[in-house]
Structure 1
Amino acid sequence: MAQAAVPRQSARERILDTAFRLFYAYGPRGVGVDTVTAESGVAKATLYKHFPRKDDLILAYLDTVDQVWFGQLRAAALAAGEDPREQLVGMFDALRSACRREGYRGCAFINTAAESAAGRDVHARTVEHKTAVRAWLTDLARRAAATDPDRIACQLTLLLDGGLSAGVLDADPATADAAKAAARALVDAACPARG
């Protein structure tokens, strides 16, 4: 019986997968294009054909991180049920999963923003991600009948970002549980229970 052939990744996919792994581990500015080309097995000309500037590669990396992380947040929220109050708390299960992952280095957006100049494309992309997460939380808070949806969204975003950072600093699995408990208290205070 013949085995099914495993589809071969395109050069672009190999470059992006390699950049994802290296950028997350060492930061985008800590990894040169020579390292990306060597580890992805593509020529430098091929890299520049797909990503004319290193910033283009960093932006593609951030787009990938955005899809993965935002997807995990949404999935955790939906797993908590249909009640928006529960979704606001349930999304913190994504934090628990992230912090326990092998090689966890915190939030790729915070890490990248820390090494990017304000006003540049890369920094703007990090801000765009954080703004999108906050807008999603504001929408959930509105649906949960929060007295001040913008405020609770800001508070939960700060709690989430703090949990992402603490997951690196103290490597204590209980950190995510503490963040979820704090989220529960914030949501209970901000969103009146439905009778």
Structure 2
Amino acid sequence: MVLTDTRPTPAAVPVLVPAAPRVHARVRILGVADRLFYSEGVHTVGVDRIISEAQVTKATFYKYYRSKDSLIVAYLQGRDKRSRDFVSALEKRESSAEQRLRGVVAEISSELMDPAFRGCPFINAAAQFTEANHPVRAAVQSHREWYLMKVESLFRTLGHERAGDAADEFFLARDGAFAFANLGDPVAANAALHRAFERVLHAASA
């Protein structure tokens, strides 16, 4: 005789997977703004669209950002922080001024060759705000002054007799490469950037 186990099979215990924590509304708003402002332009994108894509109410938006201009400033400050964090990590990784400068150029190159590249976010934003004392222009100026100071310091460490001039030339090459690539020829822009950088670097060691 075959004995059959007639005991009821215990019901499967459901495994509860904790839901991913919802991103804070302020962070969602800024994340959407960062993506849209960079890809489409700060003047093109309206507040209502940001509110819709961030899935927040209008009251929530204005709780964290008093105006669209204040959100643009926050967007630029976020981009500035990324640059500062990159340079800080580069300084920890590379001990020589030349390698740090080459690291900066390599980062610019990767931006130029990125299919999603739409130009320099700071130059793009400044072009749409003509008032010299506007908070957006102030955010742009703060970033560029910091960047120029960092590059000048590296050229001075290399022993360049005119470190300030070298930094200006570097910045001119960088801004030109950003504009050149944004107009449709990133490969040529990247090559020109490297040629200009090598000339400035050679002058530092001549």
TM-score scaled by structure 2?
0.84
Whole-Å separation in 2 of the counterparts to 1:167 and 1:11 = 34
C-alpha displacement of 1:99: 1.5
Whose radius of gyration is greater, 1 or 2? 2
Task: Say if 1:77 and 1:90, in contact at 8 Å, map to a contact too.
Answer: no
Task: Say if 2:32 and 2:54, in contact at 8 Å, map to a contact too.
Answer: yes
Whole-Å separation in 2 of the counterparts to 1:67 and 1:116 = 21
> What does the per-residue CA deviation read over 1:44-65, in whole Å, with 9 as the maximum and x for residues that have no partner?
1101000012111011100111
1:157 is the counterpart of 2:171: yes
The percent identity for this pair of structures is 32
> What does the per-residue CA deviation read over 1:67-120, in whole Å, with 9 as the maximum and x for residues that have no partner?
2234445656776x4221232233111111112223210100000000012221
Q: 1:37 aligns with which of 47, 51, 59?
A: 51
**Larger helix percent:** 1
1:82 is the counterpart of 2:95: yes
Greater Cα shift, 1-10 or 56-65: 1-10
Query: Residue 27 and residue 105 in structure 1: after superposition, are their counterparts in 2 closer, same or farther (change >3 A)?
Result: same
Structure 1 stretches of 4+ moved >3 Å: 1-5, 69-79
Task: Say if 2:178 and 2:189, in contact at 8 Å, map to a contact too.
Answer: no
Which sections of structure 1, spanning at least 5 residues, go unmatched? none
C-alpha displacement of 1:181: 2.7
Q: 2:25 aligns with which of 7, 11, 19?
A: 11
Q: 1:93 aligns with which of 106, 109, 116?
A: 106
TM-score scaled by structure 1?
0.88
**Equivalence for 1:108:** 121
Q: 1:63 aligns with which of 59, 77, 81?
A: 77
C-alpha displacement of 1:139: 1.0
Whole-Å separation in 1 of the counterparts to 2:183 and 2:198 = 23
Q: Report the count of equivalent residues.
A: 191
Whole-Å separation in 2 of the counterparts to 1:68 and 1:159 = 21
Which sections of structure 2, spanning at least 5 residues, go unmatched? 1-14
